[in-house]
Structure 1
Amino acid sequence: MRIRSFQLSDANQVMELLQLALSEDCYEDTKRAFARQLSWDSELIMIAEVDDEVIGVLIGTIDQNMGCIYRLAVHPEYRRQGVGKNLIAGMEQRFQHRKIYRIFVVGDEHNKEIAPLYEAMGYGASKFLEAFQKLGIAAVHSMS
């Protein structure tokens, strides 16, 4: 498995993966957020691949000197094999390289399903944010 930054040639595979891995509502929200983040900073979109196939994607953003993990999607055949953990670790490194040390997970209804993964990586309830604006996290509060 290789973790790397998004490249424009990944776009079709990423969209197919998002549609396969996410619920319909989550997919609709995520494809808009993906397009916004792509126009802002594609370096904060991480890809996991095996044999040139995109098997995972993590969309992050930076808002007011705070790193936010917005969405994680892993191909169903590759779940519970460390793909999500490797993507999160890669994003953490990317944030640290940019001197961003406060990292939160956007705590919307779609991320609640994978909260145990985030918690296992040290993102307890105090590091989850409930976002009222997708990828423009202007109004947030800690989830308790």
Structure 2
Amino acid sequence: MLTIREYNNSTDRAEVIALWRQVFGYETAHNDPALAIDKKVAVKDGLFHVAAEQSAIVGTIMAGYDGHRGWLYAVAVHPERRRTGLGAELVRFAEAALARAGCMKINLQLLASNEATAAFYKSLGYSVEPRVSMGKVLHVNGPEAVWPNE
């Protein structure tokens, strides 16, 4: 039986890290799964969920909400569970959690070359918006976080 529930750091951590490494690869330090989990858990917003099937983690979703806009992150589905509706179920679960928090609009980012994932989100009602996505890595918050002397 499949259950979607809030992430539990003491029981889920190792499996989530393994799943993310398998699904996402993560080649840059700021995307290290252990670091991402630590930073999300520290926020304590209740928007990090796992899909468990017979105690095995088969999917994850993280969401964020800043009072203006919601975001979806780390939507991961174990390769053996893809094309079963689990990804859609995880997204809908996070959408409901964001709606309960008062969120009116959800955004997400994906690589422009990831056509299969774009098609998945389009099937759930998301659309490409005329925006430029910009980013900046703050190295002071990476794995060796050290603030420079001021």
- TM-score, normalised to structure 2, is 0.76
Determine if the alignment matches structure 1 residue 7 to structure 2 residue 27.
no
> CA 1:10–1:94 in 2, change beyond 3 Å: closer, same or farther?
same
CA root-mean-square deviation? 2.6
Aligned mates of 2:16, 2:60 — CA distance in 1: 7
Determine if the alignment matches structure 1 residue 53 to structure 2 residue 59.
no
C-alpha contact 2:67 2:102 (8 A) present in aligned 1: no
> CA 1:128–1:55 in 2, change beyond 3 Å: closer, same or farther?
farther
The residue aligned with 1:29 is 31
Unpaired runs of 5+ in structure 1?
135-144
SS in 2 for 1:69: strand
Determine if the alignment matches structure 1 residue 81 to structure 2 residue 84.
yes
The amino acid across from 1:12 in the alignment is A
C-alpha contact 1:118 1:124 (8 A) present in aligned 2: yes
Pick one of 88, 93, 112 that aligns with 1:90.
93
C-alpha contact 2:49 2:62 (8 A) present in aligned 1: yes
SS in 2 for 1:58: strand
Unpaired runs of 5+ in structure 2?
138-150
Determine if the alignment matches structure 1 residue 38 to structure 2 residue 44.
no
User: CA offsets, 1:45-95, max 9 Å, x none?
Assistant: 111111011000012111342100022111111111111101000000100
C-alpha contact 1:2 1:50 (8 A) present in aligned 2: yes
Aligned mates of 1:19, 1:27 — CA distance in 2: 13
Q: How much identity, in percent, do the aligned residues show?
A: 22
> CA 1:109–1:18 in 2, change beyond 3 Å: closer, same or farther?
farther
SS in 2 for 1:43: coil
C-alpha contact 1:55 1:75 (8 A) present in aligned 2: yes
Aligned mates of 2:123, 2:25 — CA distance in 1: 23
Aligned residues: 134
Which structure shows the higher helix fraction? 1
Report the alpha carbon displacement of residue 99 of structure 1 after superposing the two structures with TM: 0.7
Q: Which has the larger radius of gyration?
A: 2
